[in-house]
Structure 1
Amino acid sequence: MSTRFLSDEQLERLRSFPDIGREELIKYFTLTSREHAFLDAPGRGPEARLGLAVQLCTLPWLGYIPDDLQEIPQAALVRLAGQMAVFPGMLEQYARATKKRPQTRSDHLKLVMKYLTWKNPSPGSIQWKELEQFLLDRAMEHDTPSLLFQQAAEHLISAQVVRPGVVTLMELVTAARSAAGALTTQRVEHLADAADASGSGPAAGA
């Protein structure tokens, strides 16, 4: 069973920022006073504050953080920058700085996850096992890989778990489909054996 069920275009879209509607803009990109306090930590410059804010608002919205923060919809960036009284162009400075020092992005993501109480799944973790079980349960209901992927992404957001990479999640979907197929076969064989044992199978009328 192939793990590649999404096109290159779909893969790219799932790694990037989508367009944003007005309701999402207000829901996810409106900072609370508590969030302002979190962002305004002593010693944090305007570019770091804005970069951190983009990640803070994006994670609950998408369930992941795109690699290129500068691709954020302009409306979201302007809204955030306006609330923080910083120049939107500070995000470009943040991107340049974190490209030179990637550890800053990693550190900021950890800060955001801790603040939002989100988890980062790793193979064998509770979150990983719960995702595998969720996918198996859904795969027992239907065998549409793209829908399974979408359902998994929605489940992860509701569980406040960062979405794994797109390829990794496709592999998990494929594994769940294979497991569901094997489990269904076992159940059918068990029912057939039970029917034969009770004398209600085809042999009973021979």
Structure 2
Amino acid sequence: MYARVRELLTPEERLQYLQIPPDLGEWELGTYFTFTQHDLEIIQQRRRNYNRLGFAVQLCVLRYLGWTLSEIKEVPVHVLRYIAKQINADVGSFVSYGEREATKYEHLDEIRKEYGYQTFTLSEYRSLCKYLFSHAMANGNPLHLIQLALEDLRKRKIILPLMATIERAVWETRKRTEEKIFKLLNSSLTELQIAKLDRVITTMPESSKTYLAWLREIPGTSSPDSFLKVIEKLEYIRDLQLQADTKGIHPNRLRQLSKIGSRYEPHSFRRFNDPKKYAILVAYLLELIQDLTDMAFEIHDRQIMILLSKGRKAQEEIQKQNGKSINEKVVHFADLGAALIKARSEGIDPFVALDAVMPWDQIVASVEEAKRLARPVDYDYLDLLEKKFYALRKYTPTLLKS
């Protein structure tokens, strides 16, 4: 039970870390499986063909994976060929390597001394946990932490221990960071706030759903009523007056806790111990405040966009309906303008010139009709939205207040 709890990988995932990919690319081959002149001199000190190849493979496996050859089930054939070609060895001889188990350990010891590799000890375990702690405070994803652990040990030329040891180090580090985060989030909670948090996962009066389920409900359509529902939830959370100390917690870790909280049902929360239950609830509700605020503004933006769209359509409809009349007015005033220009150039009475084009009474009537047809100088359509104000009035006072 103790070991099983600390296993973070499936057998298939664990195998991925403990094997050389069959489709290993040229870059990896060139970086980890190509020997320097110094390497070749060390390798050629082996007398037998299979010992030279085995020694070379051990060196490459350590460089690439960080584990010893004993931990690796199989070396791909094309990788063996690549190594064998460099040292003029027969690929088939590799099967004979390791028949004497002591040879592999002797070679490993030589590699350790020659290339500065170190054995993983209790001291290294503690050092690894310390290294992982700061990273786990920012990101508690186990796969991310396992990858960081492997990279750190390889960089420091520490021969990797059993994968179970790496998993246990990550498990214990995550547990320590969670305890610290839970403690920070719980430290500022009062008894009244704790009571209110307990109420969040209880059933609402005259309803079969809990307050938590109600808070998670997303309004269907964008409407004033939807806005008011969002604000009602926002005010409910604000009433909890959560003043959690989040200064020592990385924002990314808070988001991870919030995602966890968004997945758990109320009955799951009831099974948690108090520090974990309240910490996850606080992280989730604090994130939900931001989400609900964003949702409220999104609904408001959509309402404004809908109104503006209606205004544009109304103006376009007016233009369609009055197109003929507007065109008549343009023709009339073009003729009148031409008459005035001619009157000035020829020095005749402008009123006589105008009367020749259109009787004065008709000119007055045309001007009045033009005023009714005219739109604002900047061709705006906000005046057409005046009757739509009642729709905004349903929720805008709440928007400004909240």
Bin of the TM-score, shorter chain as denominator length: 0.7 to 0.9
8 A contact 1:55–1:109 mirrored in 2? yes
Distance 1:59 1:182 in 2: 36
Which deviations, in whole Å up to 9, do the C-alpha atoms of 1:19-51 show, x marking residues without a partner? 31111111111111111111122x631111110
Deviations 1:99-145 (CA, angstroms, capped at 9, x unpaired): xx32221221121122221211111x2x3222111111211111111
44-53 vs 181-190, which moves further = 181-190
From 38, 50, 53, the counterpart of 1:50: 53
1:81 alignment counterpart: 84
TM-score (norm 1): 0.82
Match of 2:171 among 161, 174, 180: 174
- Partner in structure 2 of residue 137 of structure 1: 134
Which residue number corresponds to residue 116 of structure 2? 117
User: Partners in 2 of 1:93 and 1:152 — Cα distance?
Assistant: 34
Instruction: State the 1:189 CA deviation.
Output: 4.7
Kindly provide the amino acid, as one letter, of the partner of residue 112 in structure 2.
M
The equivalences for 1:10-29 within 5 A come to 10-19=13-22, 20-29=24-33
Query: Which stretches in structure 1 are left out of the alignment for 5+ residues?
Result: 194-201
Aligned to 2:105: 106
46-55 or 18-27, larger mean C-alpha shift: 18-27
The answer to whether the 8 Å contact 1:139/1:176 transfers is: yes
CA shift at 1:80, angstroms? Answer: 1.2
Structure 2-normalised TM-score?
0.43
Q: Which amino acid aligns with 1:134?
A: Y
Distance in 2 between residues matched to 1:3 and 1:29, nearest whole Å: 33
- 1:67 paired with 2:75, answer no
Change (3 A) 1:13 1:152: same
Q: Which deviates further from its counterpart, 175-184 or 110-119?
A: 110-119
Q: CA deviation at 1:17?
A: 2.3
In the alignment, is the contact (CA less than 8 A) between 2:18 and 2:65 conserved in 1?
A: no
Q: CA deviation at 1:5?
A: 2.0
Structure 1 or 2, whichever has the larger Rg, is: 2
Alignment correspondent of 1:34: 38
Separation (CA, whole Å) in 1 of partners of 2:59 and 2:65: 11
3-state SS in 2 of match to 1:111: helix
Distance in 2 of aligned mates of 1:4 and 1:70: 20
Change (3 A) 1:70 1:39: farther
Displacement after TM superposition at 1:55 (Å): 0.9
Q: From the superposition, tell whether residues 68 and 90 of structure 1 become closer, same or farther in structure 2 (CA, over 3 Å).
A: farther
More helix per residue: 2
Shift of 1:16: 2.5
**Counterpart in the other structure of 1:163:** 160
Cα contact 2:66–2:159 (8 A) shared by 1:
yes
* Partner-residue secondary structure (3-state), 1:120: coil
The total of aligned residue pairs comes to 186
Identity, % of aligned positions: 26
SS at match of 1:140: helix
Tell me, in whole angstroms, the C-alpha distance in 1 between the residues paired with 2:77 and 2:157. Answer: 26
Residues 16 and 67, structure 1, Cα contact 8 Å, conserved in 2: no
Deviation at 1:87, TM superposition (A): 0.4
Separation in structure 1 between the aligned mates of residue 149 and residue 73 of structure 2, nearest angstrom: 26
Asked if structure 2 preserves the Cα contact closer than 8 Å seen for 1:120 and 1:162, the reply is: yes
| Residues 121 and 164, structure 1, Cα contact 8 Å, conserved in 2 | yes
1:156 and 1:163 in contact (8 A); partners too: yes
SS at match of 1:168: helix
In 2: Cα distance, 1:16 partner to 1:109 partner: 19
